[in-house]
Amino acid sequence: MTRPSAVDIFALRPQCVPPPSCPPVLRARLQSLGVWAPRASLTASPGSARPRRRGCRAGRRVQLRRTVNTPAVSVSKLPTDNSVVRFSCLNVRSLHNKTDDVLEIIRDRRVDIFCLTETWHDSDSACIGRLRASGFNVADRPRPRLRDDLSTNHGGVAIVSNDSVRMSPVAATPASTFEHVAVCIVSGQFTCIVVTLYRPGSVKLQQRFFEELGSLLEQVATYTVPIYIVGDFNIRLDRPDDEYAIQLRQLVDCYGLMLHDTVPTHQHGGTLDAAITRDDVGRQTQSLSLTSVCLTIICCSGL
């Protein structure tokens, strides 16, 4: 008796769609005769190949590869470290003996723009030179000395930025009742005007201060980019009935700016530091808090 071939066995199957499955008993008999073969190796007729069926598992593998290789598109994305600019403001009270502390704050808090008041420095102070030697850009305004001696030069303001930020000076309206320095900041697609201001608390507050501050606000309000005016105003903003605090809030409001609420920063209490921005910039600000260490303002680039 001639052993049937695989083609002969396949021809005996019922001609229906789909074909019935092979019973286990018949499968075992065919395997014992050596004529059992998987479906992929069977042919309907000599020389005619039956197409291979990939099956649902193969389809799942292909779909998995497509999912992995296709980049995901997110509708809402949180800003990364490269898409924010961090501002900090600190009343340092002498930069000479706190340069290491300033560098530590910049490193730990990843500060891009550091506004400093009461630096107590001169134009040739080593502390400013050390910041520049460390790779930082510095725009400073020391208090003019009344006499040439070795006494402490109180006052002074400075703005320090890292090398990833372009900083250029802005000609601001001169003032006699407060010290200030203004710069234009460019970081990626984000551009803003930053002003650091210090009003000496040892000098009695006069009406001329508000006149000169109004001239400064009038100048910076003409810019179409975000505006940040930060510093030590030495006005008790924590007292709602304080006449100078009321006058400052009214003056800021006249130019469409916003005076942000902060927390006490003086060692004996009292809110003396302030942050002023435009109204729309205030709504775009993600975080605004003033502590005894620093003021932190985080803004998304490209706003």
Beta strands (DSSP E) in 149-281 are: 157-161, 166-169, 179-187, 190-198, 227-232, 257-259, 273-278
Per-block mean pLDDT, blocks of 10 residues, the chain (303 long)? 66 61 73 62 47 50 42 33 76 93 91 94 94 96 88 94 93 94 92 95 94 96 92 90 94 92 69 83 43 39 32
Considering only CA atoms, which of 225, 213, 131, 111 is closest in space to residue 172? Answer: 213
Instruction: Give the pLDDT confidence of 1-35 residue by residue, as tens digits.
Output: 566 666 676 666 666 655 566 677 777 777 777 66
Mutual angle of helices 207-220 and 243-254, in 10-degree steps: 20
Give me the numbers of helices (H) and strands (E) for the chain, helices first please.
8, 12
Domains in the chain and their CATH numbers?
82-300 (3.60.10.10)
- In the Cβ-directed half-sphere of 268, how many Cα atoms lie within 13 Å? 1
List of residues 6+ apart from 19 with CB closer than 8 A: 13
Is the pTM value of this prediction over 0.75? no
Q: Which residue from 33, 114, 119, 84 is spatially nearest to 301, judged by alpha carbons? A: 84
CB 53 within 8 A of CB 78: no
Q: Which two tokens stand for residue 170?
A: 């802005």
